[in-house]
Amino acid sequence: MIILYIVTLILFIPFFFIYKSCIKESSIELKTLLIYSLGITILPGILISPLIYDISPRFENITLETSVSVSIISLYFLSTFLIPIYIINKKNKNKNKNKNKNIELTYSDISLSKLLLFLSILYLFIRLILYYKNTPLYFIINNDVTGAAQSRQLVQNKKLIIDIPYIGATFKIFISLTTYLFFISYLKYNKYLFYFLISFIFSISYFILDMQKAPVFIIITNLILIYYSLKKLNIKLVFLITLSLLSLITLVISTSGNANILHIIYSIIDRVILGQIQSMYYMFQYLDPSLSGFGYDFYFSSLFNQKFNALPPNIKVIPYIPLYENNHTLVNVNTFYFGDTWSYLGWLGIFIIPLIVSIIFYFTLVFFNAMKKNAIYLCLSITFFSFYPITRSLTEILSFKYFLHYIIFGYIPIFILQYLHKHLKKRYEYRKN
């Protein structure tokens, strides 16, 4: 099996050239998806898992056949996913020259971003007044790590409310967007540093309330990649990366109660490289393909039958993973979308789902390229693609749930506020004259 795996890697050499080309030629909003989501949390893990399956605790009980099969099929999934990005890049090759450095910010962009920042800060204070004592952060501050984990579990199971449904989603998008826009403004024009710092602090605060480490890390990764796209590698970028790593270590210490720095660094590397992919190996080995649970957590899912709303694979697989045997607060596990594909449709899904996902992603790219009219929508695109659910949920892609989420809670509110802002500005100027 190992020989088969090595031969397969040789056959996939063109994939690595395509992947490198996609990173080099893609516009700024795709950088985190390509470099972090695919290049760090997926690709290294599937490459090394057949070599460490019998020594890593994350692959306990996984066979050599499973580790090799899943890794080979995952490379096919990754290759297929890169095709629409490669096509769009070639199609827009002339337009994309210096695309990252030619970002223009207008007075209207800055003015609207200030409004979005103000509204986001106002909403955060309202949320603190209403829900602070229910949040995981409250328990962490009171040195109750167990209480924080239980609170987070209740929130994920929707048995505890710490945010206003739907409204909160809009302001999480707003605060992330303003962080990126003011950071770009600071890098390009050396202006609005104060607004960037305020946006950054409050964007982190939004997710720290829930004790979500991944969104915090993705925001920081976006900032690093924006900096690199506009300024390239220099001492300030090195300082930013170092500060980000220290912040992440501090966050892990505060949520785990473990102060062993070497252990924390190892756990972060292990979690990032292997934690995101391990569950798909267990899904392939232990779960029988079934559409049961495909509609779990859909909008209006209560209208469908019980089988449609059954537990999804990322919950059903937990009992089969020995590493989580004593973790009673775990709600679900993340996985590359291969895991869901196998769990729902088996071999049929393996052949057809990557093509369907690629087609959906192609038209998603076309849509966002058409909508990327100014810096506001560019920053919204950065937020959208950096959290794209290819490493989280197949059903969110196929059902367009994730896409609709950003249209409903991102594009539409921003479009309305932009229209009102422009209209009120014109009325003010008219009265002034």
d(CA 245, CA 265): 9
342-345's contacts with Cβ under 8 Å and 24+ in sequence apart are: 342/280, 342/283, 342/284, 342/287, 342/289, 343/283, 343/287, 343/289, 343/290, 343/313, 343/316, 343/317, 344/289, 344/290, 344/291, 344/294, 344/313, 344/394, 345/289, 345/291
Q: Is residue 376 within 8 Å of residue 113, measured between CB atoms? A: yes
pLDDT given at position 310: 74
d(CA 78, CA 63): 22
Q: Is residue 140 within 8 Å of residue 148, measured between CB atoms? A: yes
d(CA 400, CA 54): 38
Q: Is residue 212 within 8 Å of residue 136, measured between CB atoms? A: no
pLDDT given at position 327: 76
d(CA 409, CA 399): 17
Instruction: List, for residues 14-49, the tens digit of each pLDDT value.
Output: 888 899 889 888 888 899 899 989 988 899 999 888
Q: Is residue 86 within 8 Å of residue 164, measured between CB atoms? A: no
Nearest to 312 by CA among 295, 298, 329, 334: 295
Q: Is residue 211 within 8 Å of residue 148, measured between CB atoms? A: yes
Burial class (CB in 10 A: 0-12, 13-18, 19+), 206: buried
d(CA 99, CA 87): 17
Tens digit of each residue's pLDDT, the chain (433 residues): 677 777 777 777 888 889 988 988 888 889 989 998 998 889 999 988 888 888 888 998 999 999 999 988 999 999 999 999 999 988 877 565 555 556 778 888 899 999 999 999 999 999 999 998 888 888 888 888 788 878 888 887 778 888 888 899 999 999 999 999 999 999 888 889 999 999 999 998 888 888 777 888 889 889 988 888 887 766 666 666 676 666 666 666 655 556 666 767 777 778 888 888 999 999 999 999 988 877 776 665 555 656 666 788 888 999 999 888 877 777 788 888 999 999 999 999 999 999 999 999 999 999 988 887 788 999 999 999 999 999 888 988 998 989 999 999 999 999 999 888 777 776 766 666 6
d(CA 111, CA 269): 40
Q: Is residue 399 within 8 Å of residue 312, measured between CB atoms? A: no
d(CA 35, CA 120): 29
Q: Is the pTM of this model over 0.85?
A: yes
Burial class (CB in 10 A: 0-12, 13-18, 19+), 394: buried
Burial class (CB in 10 A: 0-12, 13-18, 19+), 129: exposed
DSSP letter for 360, please.
Answer: H
CA 223 vs CA 137, 138, 216, 226, 383: distances in Å? 24, 28, 11, 5, 11
The CA-based angle 20-26-31, given to 5 degrees, is: 85
In the numeric block, the tokens 């002339």 are attached to 94
DSSP letter for 339, please.
Answer: H
pLDDT given at position 14: 84
161-182 as b/e: b if 16+ CB within 10 A: ebbeeeebbbbbbbbbbbbbbb
Show the tokens assigned to 48. Answer: 């090394």
d(CA 173, CA 71): 34
